[in-house]
């Protein structure tokens, strides 16, 4: 760092930090380097191995945050991003990093969190389970309509009148009212791009109004595309208001052009937000759901259903969860945060009985329906806030668990839930997590009674920093 920059650090909010070598990856995918004085620098817009100049946004006592504004030397692990929208849409932030390095940094993050946050050691790390599909792996995508698309700096600086302002795509990060008009997306296989582009083209040519985000008006609001592993597709629209003639013309056009569409739905949403869970979807064509199959189990997926977005990796995750649980056939298994009961039903065929608990009523209703659909009579599901349901009274009224599986949201488990697990003291705990930091915190609370034996990182989301982890805990004697 130059003497001038060092002297003026404290005075100026933004300044350029020169010649920072980025050596590692940090939380949320940022690249990490150090100043000559040893202060940590967290850099967005670069990859480990780059030599960069950094525009500083925050200068804290322990670290600096900033954005790479010039790449002075490229990392040997850099690759060319495939998507033309890379760096703008906010997704797939690691497209410019080789997949081998992505997996290495993800594995390291899990291990570091368990050691640093959890104070854990002497566990076995199984080889990270990479995704066979590094692109086109998502089975669900959601896109937004806008009549005032995001304009690039080049368009703004041109001072030319922009005639075409309609957009169908993603919200720009940090700019909720701005929608990026997607020309392509590498996350969902064909015909996802083709359907989206056909919708936009038909709507534009026929004068259908795109949603006005700022003034809250228009006709077309959002588009959801879902698929199953058999290549069948669901299309679901949110419309701000009913326009029957326009709606039917658009829907009939899509059904005629794309025979892969097995069901088409819509909901009228005049609300201030575009959340779907309180909307009433109407089925225009088909059954209103898709059927997915996983190793012989069937699941009906509607527009509101929670289902893992990477089908192939989800199947591997469930298989590995069952493998680590090592069920012999007569065990009682508790499945906390069971969701729609996918893991519960996956392990039920090897268990004596499975008891699942989940807070979302719609998810529990789906779990019960799926158990019936799959002929599983050894699954029982309960609905309610985990810390309010999973109590001493509940434990007293149910068989003691031999194995406990838990798959909580990113915030991890409530401390009261951890306390109840310690009272229950099952022989094994299989902890599935999408946030290894909160997982490490929770396992630290359990380590008085349990030993962390193995972990298995599973990459569900290639080209991003996100990583799932399965941990096997064994009760101490």
Contacts of 154 (CB under 8 A, 6+ apart): none
Instruction: Clarify whether 434 is annotated catalytic.
Output: yes
Binding-site sequence positions for S-adenosyl-L-methionine: 308, 337, 358, 407
**Helical H runs in 88-152?**
99-116
Q: Which domains does the chain have, with CATH numbers?
A: 1-77 (2.40.50.140), 103-133+310-475 (3.40.50.150), 140-294 (2.40.50.1070)
Q: Locate tokens 């906390």: which residue?
A: 336
Structure tokens at 381: 């599901």
Q: CA 63, 67, 72, 77 torsion: positive or negative?
A: positive
Q: Locate tokens 């005049």: which residue?
A: 270
- H or E segment and range at residue 317: helix 311-325
Structure tokens at 163: 């005639």
- Residue 474 to residue 306: CA distance in whole angstroms: 30
Contacts of 140 (CB under 8 A, 6+ apart): 188, 224, 225, 226, 227, 307, 309
Q: How many CB atoms lie within 10 A of CB 412?
A: 23
Q: How many CA atoms lie within 13 A of 254 on its CB side?
A: 31
pLDDT digit string (tens) for the chain, length 477 residues: 433 344 344 445 578 999 999 999 988 889 999 999 999 999 999 999 999 999 999 999 999 999 999 999 999 999 999 999 998 988 899 999 999 999 999 999 999 999 999 999 999 999 999 999 999 999 999 999 999 998 888 888 887 778 789 999 999 988 878 999 999 999 999 999 999 999 999 999 999 999 998 899 999 999 999 999 999 999 999 999 999 999 999 999 999 999 999 999 999 999 999 899 899 999 999 999 999 999 999 999 999 988 899 999 999 999 999 999 999 999 999 999 999 999 999 999 999 999 999 999 999 999 999 999 999 999 999 999 999 999 999 999 999 999 999 999 999 999 999 999 999 999 999 999 999 999 999 999 999 999 999 999 999 999 999 999 999 999 998
Binding-site sequence positions: 308, 337, 358, 407
Instruction: Select from 202, 222, 198, 199 the least CA-distant residue to 211.
Output: 222
- Residue 238 to residue 228: CA distance in whole angstroms: 21
Strand partners, 468: 458
Structure tokens at 178: 């701005």
Q: Locate tokens 């509940």: which residue?
A: 394
- Residue 103 to residue 107: CA distance in whole angstroms: 6
Strand partners, 3: none
Contacts of 391 (CB under 8 A, 6+ apart): 420
């Amino acid at each position: 760092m130059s003497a001038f920059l060092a002297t003026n650090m404290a005075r100026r909010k933004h300044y350029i930090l020169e010649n920072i070598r980025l050596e590692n990856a940090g939380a949320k995918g940022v690249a990490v380097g150090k100043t000559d004085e040893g202060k940590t620098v967290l850099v967005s817009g670069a990859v480990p191995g780059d030599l960069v100049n950094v525009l500083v946004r925050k200068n804290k006592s322990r670290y600096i945050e900033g954005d790479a504004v010039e790449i002075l030397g490229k990392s040997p692990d850099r690759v060319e991003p495939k998507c033309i929208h890379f760096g703008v849409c906010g997704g797939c932030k690691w497209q410019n990093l080789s997949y081998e390095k992505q997996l290495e940094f993800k594995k390291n993050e899990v291990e570091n969190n368990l050691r640093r946050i959890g104070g854990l050691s002497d566990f076995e790390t199984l080889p990270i389970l990479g995704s066979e599909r590094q692109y086109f792996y998502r089975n669900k995508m959601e896109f937004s309509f806008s009549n005032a698309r995001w304009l690039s700096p080049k368009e703004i600086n041109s001072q030319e009148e922009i005639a075409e302002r309609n957009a169908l795509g993603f919200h720009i990060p940090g700019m909720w009212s701005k929608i990026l008009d997607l020309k392509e997306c590498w996350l969902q296989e064909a015909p996802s791009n083709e359907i989206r582009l056909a919708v936009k083209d038909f709507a534009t040519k026929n004068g259908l109004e795109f949603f006005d985000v700022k003034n809250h008006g228009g006709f077309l609001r959002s588009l959801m595309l879902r698929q199953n592993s058999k290549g069948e597709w669901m299309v679901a629209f949110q419309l701000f208001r009913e326009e029957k003639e326009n709606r039917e013309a658009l829907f009939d056009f899509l059904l005629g052009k794309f025979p892969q569409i097995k069901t088409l739905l819509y909901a009228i949403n005049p609300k201030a937000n575009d959340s779907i869970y309180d909307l009433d979807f109407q089925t225009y064509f088909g059954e209103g759901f898709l059927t997915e199959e996983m190793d012989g189990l069937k699941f009906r997926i509607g527009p509101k259903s929670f289902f893992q977005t990477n089908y192939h990796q989800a199947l591997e995750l469930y298989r590995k969860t069952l493998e680590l649980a090592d069920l012999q056939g007569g065990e009682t298994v508790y499945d906390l945060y069971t969701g729609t009961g996918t893991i519960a039903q996956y392990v039920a065929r090897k268990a004596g009985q499975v008891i699942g608990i989940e807070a979302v009523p719609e998810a529990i209703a789906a779990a019960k329906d799926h158990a019936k659909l799959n002929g599983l009579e050894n699954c029982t599901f309960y609905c309610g806030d985990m810390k309010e349901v999973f109590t001493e009274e509940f434990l007293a009224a149910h068989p003691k668990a031999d194995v406990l599986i838990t798959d909580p949201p990113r915030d991890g488990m409530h401390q009261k839930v951890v306390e109840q697990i310690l009272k229950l003291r099952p022989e094994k705990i299989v902890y599935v997590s999408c946030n290894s930091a909160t997982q490490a915190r929770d396992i630290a609370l359990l380590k008085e009674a349990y030993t962390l034996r193995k972990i298995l990182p599973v990459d569900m989301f290639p080209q991003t920093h996100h990583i799932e982890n399965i941990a096997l805990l064994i009760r101490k004697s």
